[in-house]
Amino acid sequence: MNTYYFDYASTTPVDSLVVDKMKECLSVDGAFGNSGSRSHVFGWKAEELVEEARVNVANLINCDPREIIWTSGATESDNLAIKGAAYFYSDKGKHIITSKIEHKAVLDVCRQLESESYEVTYLEPNNDGIITPESVEAALREDTVLVSLMHINNEIGVINDIEAIGKIVKQNGSIFHVDAAQSAGKIPIDIENLEVDLMSFSAHKIYGPKGIGALYIRRKPRVRLQPLFHGGGQERGIRAGTLPTHQIVGMGEAFKLAKEKMSEDFKNLSKYRDILWNGLKDMEEVYINGAIDNTFPGIFNMSFNFVEGESLIMALKNIAVSSGSACTSASLEPSYVLRALGRKDELAHSSIRFSFGRFTKEQEVKQTVELVKDSVNKLREISPLWEMYQDGVDLDKIEWA
Amino acid sequence: MAYSQKVVDKFEQTLKNPKEASVGRWKPGDKDFHRVGTGIVGAPACGDVMKLQIKCENIDGTNKIVDAKFKTYGCGSAIASSGELIDMLKGKTLEEAQNISNQEIVDILELPAIKIHCSVLAEEAIHRAIDDFKSRRNND
């Protein structure tokens, strides 16, 4: 049996159409020039390709290409957006709002700013994992300089209502940053209808290469950022560094393809998610982490009670998935995202994230249903917790040593 | 983190043929249950629970472990560690079993540093099971 890849939320393979375009920007007979070279045709050619890619990225979210800045990935975009805005507007206030279930690329930046005398409010999601506009409204203060929230959560796939949240943030005069690493190219984003000032993108989550991302920075009204990198003045001084033509061209092509294939991709992902859930929902003690509604179907997070996640992943050796179990992390802590949803620790330990993508096949998902059932049943056979549950013991009442 | 082939093999054997790997239980009412000691260690919230049972017989005046069974909720190395412990226990006197150290399991399974607690859990499980057996015998 081949190994099936269901970890698209972690990263995706580069589409072969993207690879072809990237190859044209590397060798001596290709567009290898430095887009910053203004004095010869090699530079001009590279610049042309970079700008074409910028248009492709802008088209996906319906913004002006001049509002797109290249970065090394969503982590850098998050850093640049949050630190850049917090530093530039520090005289307006030093309060930041984010949530407990953001990606570490946002949480760690906020922690850093806390050590620099900023104050951060970490919003709790509701039980489905959604950050409600009401909770944002309640946390806003006069000195709130920035609100940073993700569009689609990477672990559970829930979608935040950034349109509604944006309106509330704008009324308060704060800057609104959205991490769209998991949503760009997967669900429609129209910047014209959103009161978003800054938005982070990654190429490798949507069939582009790793090591390249972008940041949307609103021009009207203009949002200013203090740069993190200083140097040759590229990207209008906001992000210095020679532009990696092949990476940028790859991202542009990936975003162009995403726009073309979005509705088809979405339809397929919904089908796969339904096959999986319909195949497994009748098992005992199976839980969805997040919600089935209002969730991106490409990410589906479930817990199989009384079975530890890492052991399930080991049992499913021909299926590549990830787990919120502590045992798969270096920290030995179960997923902070699932804990923030109010999930009991044991359910966080028992969680598995399936994430499907463009190259997933229906047959793979159908086969996976059977493999998961079989593995969960086998692991429950050797689980003392399952035994106690079958005996009618209330596990919450036991004093564990 | 990659496991050694030994952990993977032990884990897979246990899943494939649980009975042969000594997965199971003795429960109250079973014949000889009074000769069984049970140790349960760990907690669901921590991601590991190990239940170990030993069955002892008095042979020439000393209690020997003649059989053992386990059930484990936990990561692959916790399940492999339990299985490995079971293999070590059979035929040992209680005193010998008491002296098994977690390091032996670490060495056999080549456990990575971050998984050493799995072997510690196994060592605690045998101590609990022995204590339980002894307390039962006093009650006989």
SS3 state of residue A62: coil
pLDDT tens readout for residues A145-182 = 999 999 999 999 999 999 999 999 999 999 999 999 99
Is A63 an active-site residue? Answer: no
| Residue-wise pLDDT tens digits, A264-295 | 999 999 999 999 999 999 999 999 999 888 89
Contact across the interface for A382 and B44, Cβ inside 8 Å? no
**Closest residue, chain A, to B51 (C-alpha):** A384
Q: Which amino acid is at B71?
A: K
Mind listing the pLDDT tens digit for each residue in A25-60? Answer: 999 999 999 999 999 999 999 999 999 999 999 999
Q: Do residues A184 and A201 make contact, with C-beta atoms less than 8 angstroms apart? A: yes
| Res A400 pLDDT > 90 | no
Please list every residue in chain B whose beta carbon sits closer than 8 Å to the beta carbon of residue A334. Answer: 47
Q: Are A323 and A351 in contact (CB under 8 A)?
A: yes
DSSP letters along A66-104, please? Answer: GGEEEESSHHHHHHHHHHHHHHHTGGG--EEEEETTS-H
Percentage, residues of chain A above pLDDT 90: 90
- Cβ separation A382–B15 shorter than 8 A: yes
Residue A222, amino acid: R
Length of chain B counted residue by residue: 140
Per cent of chain B over pLDDT 70 is 96
User: Among residues A333, A282, A293, which one has the least CA distance to residue A158?
Assistant: A293
Contact B51 A384 (CB under 8 A): yes
Q: Percentage of chain A with pLDDT > 70?
A: 98
Longest alpha-carbon distance in chain A: 80
- Nearest CA to A118 out of A143, A149, A138, A150 is that of A143
Ramachandran angles phi, psi of A175, nearest 5° = -85, 140
**Average pLDDT for A8-24:** 97
**Is A28 near chain B, with CB under 8 Å?**
no
Cβ partners under 8 Å of residue A215, min gap 6? A68, A69, A71, A77, A80, A81, A198, A199, A200, A201, A239
CA distance B6 to A130: 43
Global ipTM: 0.94
The whole-angstrom separation of Cα B15 and Cα A243 is 52
Of A108, A128, A76, nearest to A337 by C-alpha is: A128
Confidence of residue A240 (pLDDT cuts 50, 70, 90): very high
pLDDT of B137 higher than 80: no
Q: Measure CB to CB from residue B15 to each of A315, A384, A400 and give the nearest one.
A: A315
Q: Which residues contact B117 (CB under 8 A, 6 or more apart)?
A: B48
Q: What pLDDT, on a 0 to 100 scale, did the predictor assign at position A328?
A: 60
Measured CA to CA, the distance from residue A82 to residue A95 in angstroms comes to: 12
